[in-house]
């Protein structure tokens, strides 16, 4: 929620700024937001910049297991090489506001340059831009009481640059739109219906393109309803989505066979249906219990379906599976919430079970960057004998039964209030345990638990904040895990 298209009248001139410095990456960052208006026309402008150095760490930059798997990889201590980044961006927006709605437009752009970590000499040069139109009408009729719409067109491009030479260029251009209608009460029911549309073209050009050119098209209908019965609120939602994913096929040739690396052009279509049920019970005005259940289906992405090639950013050879079906899961979460004028806290638990969770696994093979399976490296220099191609781990997208269980808690407590000065203490904790139910082993790339504490000081229009977060060391690993460093 960035208000780049102002949704309510702005009278006069307002602004805010922020500066940051410090951290393990020696961050320096600044941002500014300015808004002005005459009560009818509202203007918005924002800009930011952020620079970081290589991340400071304890111990070596790669794990002992990765050192054993890749003896030619340089080992450093104290910093994570090639993790520095710089970014800048901003946006301009304007809208016309009136008593029963608004309509406006915004343009935003970002420019980011960062190291890949997985490859010490490779950086990503990325630019993106987005044009948005949005609006809302309220109190428009006796049955359809309101309407919202949004349309956005995005262009994204990033280049993988190895020692100053552009290797592969990725481009993505497309649009997304959404229309939502709210209706008057139907008995106890109050809610909204809507539609969502999207169309994205993706291309990768270069010798190390690991995905063919693709088109992804989404069409969806959804509804959400709630009903209140005294202290109890019931809600339900449903969504039907049709997704088409087309691959143009072809791509770089496999030197061993002369055949294109990617399969011939093909089209996959998916119909995904999702639903949710929820209940909120207020014991008192300050305390509530929330229970939600979901059944979701997700169409696989183009890279989960069609990847087949070296991915420089992960220093691996990634392989998808065009035969994947929809990812399906069932979940439940329970949360206890407490909120007063000055304090708030919540604690919740959740569980999600996947019939076929899609993620990357270490296949146990090696590939040359040209696709050769388990090439010979007699001299141990990390390159295939004869061709000289870099040897990479093979990572495969697989569908496995999985279970996610977790705990989330947060709190905000006012510890000082004197005149115009206020000091709040913020606490947070989250943890997730994810298991591959076919093997009983942990799933790869799951973050460990983390705990955070912060101080938030405010005095009139000025404020300051201090946050400390502790992330536990990852210990739930198995032989099929993907080394992250």
Structure tokens given for 175: 């649009």
* Exposed/middle/buried for residue 317 (C-beta within 10 Å: 0-12, 13-18, 19+): buried
> How confident is the model over 267-301, as pLDDT tens digits?
999 999 999 999 999 999 999 999 999 999 999 99
Residue of 120, 116, 122, 124 lying closest to 72 (CA atoms): 120
pLDDT at 482 over 60: no
* DSSP string for 117-165: SSSTTEEEEEEEEEEEEEEEEES--SSEEEEEEEEEEEEEEEEEEETTE
pLDDT at 454 over 80: yes
For β-strands 391-418 and 316-319, DSSP reports them as parallel
For residues 89 and 166, give the distance between their C-alpha atoms in angstroms, rounded to a whole number.
23
pTM to 2 decimal places? 0.86
> How confident is the model over 19-37, as pLDDT tens digits?
989 889 999 999 999 999 9
Residue of 124, 446, 477, 478 lying closest to 311 (CA atoms): 124
For residues 433 and 447, give the distance between their C-alpha atoms in angstroms, rounded to a whole number.
9
- Position 253 confidence tier, pLDDT thresholds 50, 70, 90: low
> How confident is the model over 114-157, as pLDDT tens digits?
998 888 888 999 999 999 999 999 999 889 999 999 999 999 99
> How confident is the model over 160-190, as pLDDT tens digits?
898 888 888 999 999 999 999 999 999 999 9
pLDDT at 485 over 50: no
For residues 222 and 231, give the distance between their C-alpha atoms in angstroms, rounded to a whole number.
27
> How confident is the model over 376-410, as pLDDT tens digits?
887 777 788 877 788 888 999 999 999 999 999 99
Residue of 228, 150, 137 lying closest to 182 (CA atoms): 137
């Amino acid at each position: 929620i960035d208000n780049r298209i102002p949704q309510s009248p702005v009278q006069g001139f307002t602004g805010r700024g922020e500066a940051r410095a410090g951290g393990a990456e020696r961050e320096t960052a600044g941002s500014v937001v300015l808004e002005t208006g005459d009560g009818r026309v509202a203007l918005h402008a924002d800009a930011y910049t952020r620079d970081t150095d290589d991340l400071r760490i304890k111990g070596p930059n790669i794990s002992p297991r990765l050192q054993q798997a890749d003896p030619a990889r340089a080992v450093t201590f104290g910093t994570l090489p090639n993790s520095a980044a710089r970014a800048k961006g901003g946006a301009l927006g304007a809208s016309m506001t009136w008593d029963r709605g608004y309509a406006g437009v915004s343009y935003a752009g970002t420019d980011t340059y960062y190291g890949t970590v997985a490859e010490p000499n490779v950086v990503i040069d990325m630019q993106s831009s987005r044009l948005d139109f949005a609006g809302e009408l309220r109190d428009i009729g006796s049955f359809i009481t309101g309407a919202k719409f949004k349309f956005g067109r995005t262009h994204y491009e990033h280049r993988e640059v190895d020692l100053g030479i552009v290797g592969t260029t990725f481009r993505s251009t497309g649009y997304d739109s959404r229309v939502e209608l709210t209706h008057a009460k139907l008995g106890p029911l109050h809610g909204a219906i809507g539609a969502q549309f999207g169309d994205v073209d993706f291309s990768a050009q270069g010798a190390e393109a690991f995905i063919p050119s693709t088109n992804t098209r989404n069409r969806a209908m959804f509804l959400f309803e709630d009903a209140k019965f005294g202290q109890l609120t019931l809600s339900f939602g449903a969504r039907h989505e049709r997704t088409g994913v087309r691959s143009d096929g072809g791509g770089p040739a496999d030197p061993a066979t002369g055949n294109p690396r990617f399969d011939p052009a093909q089209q996959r279509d998916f119909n995904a249906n999702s639903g949710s049920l929820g209940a909120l019970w207020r014991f008192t005005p300050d305390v509530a219990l929330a229970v939600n259940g979901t059944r979701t289906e997700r169409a696989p992405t183009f890279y989960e379906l069609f990847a087949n090639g070296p991915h420089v950013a992960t220093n691996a050879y990634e392989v998808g599976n065009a035969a994947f079906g929809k990812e399906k899961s069932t979940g439940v979460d329970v949360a206890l919430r407490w909120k007063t004028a000055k304090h708030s806290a919540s604690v919740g638990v959740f569980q999600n079970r996947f019939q076929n969770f899609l993620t990357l696994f270490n296949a146990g093979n090696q590939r040359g960057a040209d696709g050769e399976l388990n090439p010979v490296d007699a001299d141990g220099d990390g390159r295939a004998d004869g061709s000289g191609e870099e040897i990479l781990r093979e990572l495969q997208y697989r569908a496995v039964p999985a279970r996610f269980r977790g705990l989330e808690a947060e709190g905000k407590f006012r510890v000082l209030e004197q005149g115009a000065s206020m000091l709040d203490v913020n606490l947070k904790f989250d943890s997730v345990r994810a298991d591959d139910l076919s093997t009983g082993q942990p799933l790869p790339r799951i973050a460990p638990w983390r705990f955070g504490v912060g101080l938030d000081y405010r005095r009139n229009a000025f404020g300051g904040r201090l946050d400390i977060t502790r992330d536990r060391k990852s210990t739930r690993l198995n032989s099929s895990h993907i080394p992250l460093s």
